[in-house]
Amino acid sequence: MGSATAELKKEDAKPGQLVEMNWDPITRIVGSLGIFTKIDFGKRKVAECHSTSSIFRGYSIFMKGKDPRDAHFITSRICGICGDNHATCATYAQNMAFGVKPPPIAEWIVNLGEAAEYMFDHNIFQDNLVGVDFCEQMVKDTNPGVWEKATKTAAPHAELHGYKTIAEIMTALNPFSGTFYLEALQMSRMTREMFCLMEGRHVHPSTLYPGGVGTVPTIQLFTDYIVRLMKYVEFMKKVVPLHDDLFDFFYQALPGYEEVGRRRILLGCWGSFNNPDVCDYTYQKMTDWGRGMYVTPGVVVDGQLVTTDLVDINLNIRILLGSSYYDDWQNSQSFVKQDPLGNPVDQRHPWNQSTFPRPQKRDFKGNYTWVMSPRWYDKRTGDYLALDTGGGPIARFWATALAGIVDIGYIKATGHSVKIYLPKTMSKPEVEFEWKIPKWSNAIERDRARTYFQAYAAAAALYFAEQALAELHAGRTKTWNDFKVPEEAIGCGFHEAVRGVLSHHVVIRNHKIANYHPYPPTPWNANPRDSFGTPGPYEDAVQNTPIFEENGPENFKGIDIMRAVRSFDPCLPCGVHMYLGNGKVLETHHSPMFGIPQH
C-alpha cells in the first residue's frame, strides 16, 4: 500500500496533522481516475480531496466538419460500458436537427435496448465492481470488527435470498470465488444478450440510426427478449432484499456511516425512455414530451423538485472552467444566440462552447486536470449549482418520485416514493418493491438506489415489450422514417446514461457538424473547483467523510473513501487519479478533469 518513501506510523501522526494519501489509479471503475486527499488521522476525517483526470481524446475537435449522420456511431465510442446511451442520445439530437420522428415500434425497441443496458450495467458495476468493497476479503482487511459482527448478524430477508448471515453475503461477494459475484457476472451476459437483440451488439450498437432502427421486429425477436427478461425479474426478487440487508447492516454496525460520501442534495436527472405517443423530437414541444418520459427529468435542490421542464433544464446548463487544461471561449464565436423558442442562449452553454486544449504540466496550485466544471444556473438564487447524479439511479428515483407523473402499472410514482411491481415468475410469486426517498444523499443510498433501479428497468421493460408486441400484431412494423440533413440546424438530446445526466448538443452548418458538445454524467460528478471556487461533487462528498477503517496510515486502504467515490459510479474515460501518499504532508490540489476531455 505505501510507496517507497518513508512511511509515517500512526503513532507519529499528531492530532490535527494532515497526512497526504493518494490513490492513482482508482480501479473497478471505467476510465482513469485519481484522487488526492489529506487525511486527518487524529480526527479520523478526510480534510481535503482533489480528483484529477489524465486522458484527453478530443471528440469535440475531430467531429467538426464530419457528416451529422455519423454522430451517433462516433459518440458511442466515448464510453466503453454505456456507449449505447451516447448513441441513443445522439439520435435524439439528430432527430431534432433533421426534423424526423421514428415510428412507435422503433421507440419501443430503443427503450427495450436501453432498459437492457441499465439491467446489465448496474448489475455488473454493483456486484462485480462496487460489491468488492463490501466483500469478506475487503471487510477483513479494513474493518475486522465489522466482519466479526457480520458473522453474528442474521440477514433479515434470508428466506428471500438464501444467505443466512450478513457474513455469508459478504463471502458471496468475494471476487471470482464468491457465489453471488459469479452469478451476477453470468447474469450480466444474459442482459447483454437482451441488449444485442434490440441494438445489435454491445457496447457500440449497430442497429440505431437517426429516424429509427434497423432491427427487424418479429415474434422471435420479442420472445427471445421476454424469456430472458423473466429470468432477470426472478433474479431481482432476491437481489433487492440482499442489498437492503447488506446496506442496512452498515448503518447498524458503524453508527454514523450515513456521513460517508454525504453531500448536499443537489441532483440532476435529464429523463429517460421516450413515449412515442407524445414525443415528436421538436424543441418546441420538448417541455411536454420531456414530462412524458418514463423516467421524469428534474432538478432536486435540498429535497425540493425545482423543475421538470427540459427547456428550462437546457437553457441553464453552464460550463465553467476552474483548473483545467483549456483556453477559455468567452470571447470566441457564438454559434447559437437564441433557442427555437426565442430564449437567449448563454455563451457558456454547450451550443456555444469551443474547445481549445492546452496541454501543460500538472500543477496542483494552478491547472491540474482535463475536466471542466458543468454547473446548473438556478434562476431563483443566481447560484451556479454543482449538481450531481449520485451515479444515476438515486437522481432518477428522486426526480421521478417527487414529480408523481409516471404510472404504467408496473411502475408508479407516488410523490414520495416509487412502486415497482414484478409479476409471478417461475418459482417466486408477485412482488412489489417501493423505493422511498431517503434522508441523505450519501454513498449507501446511492448504492441502494442502484439495485432498486435494476428492478425499475426490468419493470419498465415488461411494459415496453407489451407496447412493442401491440405494434407488431397490428402490422405496424416499419422501423425507420427517412429524412434529409438540413444545411443549417441545431439539435439537443437529453437522456440518462447509466450513471446519470447525458446531453448532446449539435450545431450544423453547410450540412456538416460545426459544433458538437456532449456532457456525460461523470463531468458533472468529478469536476474540479470552478472559477467561483465551488468544489465539485466528488470533492465535497469525500471531504468531511469520516474514517471508519480500522487501519492506520501504514496499511490504509481508504475503503470509506473508495465506497464514497464508487457510489458515484465513476466512468471517466477521462479520469482522475489518486495516489497513495506515504505520510508526507503535502498540498496538492487536483481538479478532476472534466469537461469534455473524453470527447
SS3 annotation, 237-265: HHHHHHHHHHHHHHHHHCCCHHHCCCECC
Q: Per CB under 8 A, which of residues 512..541 are in contact with another protein?
A: none
Using the rule CB under 8 A, give the single segment among 193-201, 243-251, 269-277, 373-381 that binds another protein: 193-201
Residue 189 found at the interface with another protein (CB under 8 A): yes
User: Could you say whether residue 95 binds another protein (CB under 8 A)?
Assistant: no
Chain positions 289 to 328 lying near another protein, rule: CB under 8 A, are 325
Pick from 15, 152, 159, 176 the residue near another protein by CB under 8 A.
176
Q: Least distance (Å) from another protein to the CB of residue 128?
A: 7
200-213 core/surface letters (b: 16 or more CB in 10 A; e: else)? bebbbbebbbbbbb
Instruction: Using CB under 8 A, pick the residue from 11, 255, 338, 361 that binds another protein.
Output: 361
Choose between 197 and 455: whose C-beta lies nearer to another protein: 197
Q: Does 557 bind another protein (CB under 8 A)?
A: yes
From the list 336, 340, 456, 345, the residue with the least C-alpha distance to 408 is 456
Instruction: Kindly give the residue spans of alpha helices, DSSP state H, lying in 254-337.
Output: 286-291, 310-315
5 forms part of the interface with another protein (CB under 8 A): yes
Closest to another protein by CB, 386 or 574: 574
Residue of 131, 271, 357, 535 interacting with another protein (CB under 8 A): 357
Task: Identify the residue among 77, 238, 264, 412 touching another protein (CB under 8 A).
Answer: 77
CA quadruple 91, 93, 95, 97: dihedral positive or negative? Answer: negative
188 counts as binding another protein under rule CB under 8 A: yes
Q: Which of 2, 99, 162, 486 binds another protein (CB under 8 A)?
A: 2
User: Is there binding between residue 469 and another protein (CB under 8 A)?
Assistant: no
- Residues in Cβ contact with 381 at an 8 Å cutoff, skipping those fewer than 6 apart: none
Out of 214, 404, 438, 486, the only residue in the binding site for another protein (CB under 8 A) is: 214
Among residue numbers 235 through 274, which ones bind another protein (CB under 8 A)? none
The three grid cell numbers given for residue 275, joined into one nine-digit string = 413515449
Q: How many residues are there in the chain?
A: 599
Among positions 139, 387, 562, 593, the unique one binding another protein when judged by CB under 8 A: 562
Which of 8, 41, 56, 350 touches another protein by CB under 8 A? 56
Distance in angstroms (rounded) separating the CA atoms of residues 13 and 595: 37
Q: Which of 45, 57, 231, 428 binds another protein (CB under 8 A)?
A: 57
Angle of CA points 407, 408, 409, to nearest 5° = 95
Q: Are 470 and 464 in contact (CB under 8 A)?
A: no
User: Can you tell me the distance from the alpha carbon of 175 to that of 129, in angstroms, rounded to the nearest whole number?
Assistant: 9
Q: What is the three-class DSSP state of 408?
A: coil
Residue 341 has which C-alpha cell?
Answer: 423558442
Hey, is 126 helix, strand or coil? helix
Spell out the residues 6+ positions from residue 359 whose beta carbon is closer than 8 angstroms to its own: 56, 325
Q: How far is the CB of 418 from another protein (least distance, A)?
A: 28
Nearer to another protein, 28 or 509 (CB): 28
Q: Could you tell me the smallest distance in angstroms from the CB atom of residue 355 to another protein?
A: 9
Tell how strand 30-40 and strand 571-576 pair up: parallel
Measure the CA–CA gap between 105 and 108, rounded to whole angstroms: 5
- Kindly report the CA angle at 541 between 536 and 544, in degrees rounded to 5? 120
Binding range to another protein, per CB under 8 A, among 59-67, 165-173, 295-303, 545-553: 59-67
Task: Single out the segment in contact with another protein by CB under 8 A; choices: 129-137, 294-302, 450-458, 520-528.
Answer: 129-137
Which of the residues 104 through 123 are near another protein (CB under 8 A)?
Answer: 106
The pair phi, psi for residue 524, each rounded to 5°, is -65, -35
Of 74-82, 252-260, 265-273, 500-508, which segment contacts another protein by CB under 8 A?
A: 74-82
In one-letter notation, the amino acid at residue 288 is: D
Furthest C-alpha separation in the chain: 76
Closest separation in Å from C-beta 175 to another protein: 6
Interface with another protein (CB under 8 A), residue from 13, 18, 19, 79: 79
Binders in 378-397 for another protein, by CB under 8 A: none
Is residue 222 involved in binding another protein (CB under 8 A)? no
Alpha-carbon distance of 576 to 595, in angstroms, equals 12
As a whole number of angstroms, the distance between CA 589 and CA 596 comes to 20
Alpha helices, H only, 205-340: 219-253, 286-291, 310-315
203 counts as binding another protein under rule CB under 8 A? yes
User: Least Å distance between CB 379 and another protein?
Assistant: 36
If one asks whether residue 66 binds another protein (CB under 8 A), the answer comes out as yes
- The binding track of 397-426 with respect to another protein, each residue x by CB under 8 A or -, is ------------------------------
- The 138-167 site mask, x for binding another protein (CB under 8 A), equals x-----------------------------
The footprint of another protein on residues 322-351 (CB under 8 A) is 325
Compute the least distance from the CB of residue 464 to another protein, in Å.
18
Among 40, 149, 165, 185, the residue binding another protein under the rule CB under 8 A is 185
In contact, 559 and 549? CB cutoff 8 Å: yes
CB-based contact 373:321 (threshold 8 Å): yes
Find the shortest distance in angstroms from Cβ 116 to another protein.
11
Helix (H, G, I), strand (E, B) or coil at 92: helix
